[in-house]
Amino acid sequence: MSLHLQSEVSLKAFNSFGVEVGARLFAQAHNDDEVREALRLAESHDLPLLVIGGGSNLLLTRDVEALVLRMASRGIRILEDDGERVLVEAEAGEPWHPFVLWSLEQGLNGLENLSLIPGTVGAAPMQNIGAYGVELKDLFVGLTALDRQGGELRDFSLDECAFAYRDSLFKREAGRWLILRVRLQLSRVAALRLDYGPVRQRLAAMGIEAPTASDVSRAICAIRSEKLPDPAELGNAGSFFKNPLVSNAVAERIRAEHADLVGYPAGEGLLKLAAGWLIERAGWKGFRDGDAGVHRLQALVLVNYGQASGEQLLALARRIQADIQARFGVELEIEPNVL
Ligand code: EPU
Q: What DSSP string runs through 11-40?
A: -GGGSTT----EEEEEEEE-SHHHHHHHHH
All structural domains of the chain with their residue ranges: 6-71, 76-187, 235-338
CA of 300 to the centre of ligand 1 (A): 7
pLDDT of residue 2: 84
pLDDT of residue 1: 60
Question: Is the separation of the CB atoms in 29 and 73 below 8 Å?
Answer: yes
> CB-based burial of residue 264 (10 Å sphere; 0-12 exposed, 13-18 middle, 19+ buried)?
exposed
Nearest-CA residue for ligand 1 atom 29 is 131
Mean pLDDT for 171-187 is 96
Question: Is the separation of the CB atoms in 146 and 152 below 8 Å?
Answer: yes
CATH topology of domain 76-187: 3.30.465
Mean pLDDT for 128-132 is 97
pTM for the full predicted model: 0.95
Q: To 10 degrees, what angle do helices 96-105 and 213-227 make?
A: 150
CA of 109 to the centre of ligand 1 (A): 24
State which of 128, 200, 300 you would mutate to test the pocket of ligand 1, scoring each by most atoms of that ligand within 8 A of its C-beta.
300
CATH topology of domain 235-338: 3.90.78
Pocket of ligand 1 (CB under 6 A): 131-132, 197, 227-228, 238-239, 242-243, 262, 274, 276-277, 280, 285, 298-300, 335
Active site residues: 166, 239, 335
Mean pLDDT for 82-109 is 98
- Mean of per-residue pLDDT scores for the chain: 96
CA of 132 to the centre of ligand 1 (A): 9
Could you read off the pLDDT of 41-84 as tens digits, one per residue? 999 999 999 999 999 999 999 999 999 999 999 999 999 999 99
Spell out the CATH class of 6-71: alpha beta
Could you read off the pLDDT of 282-335 as tens digits, one per residue? 999 999 999 999 999 999 999 999 999 999 999 999 999 999 999 999 999 999
Residue 266 has, within 13 A of its CA and on its CB side, a CA count of 17
State which of 163, 277, 303 you would mutate to test the pocket of ligand 1, scoring each by most atoms of that ligand within 8 A of its C-beta.
277
Ligand 1: nearest atom to the Cα of 57:
42
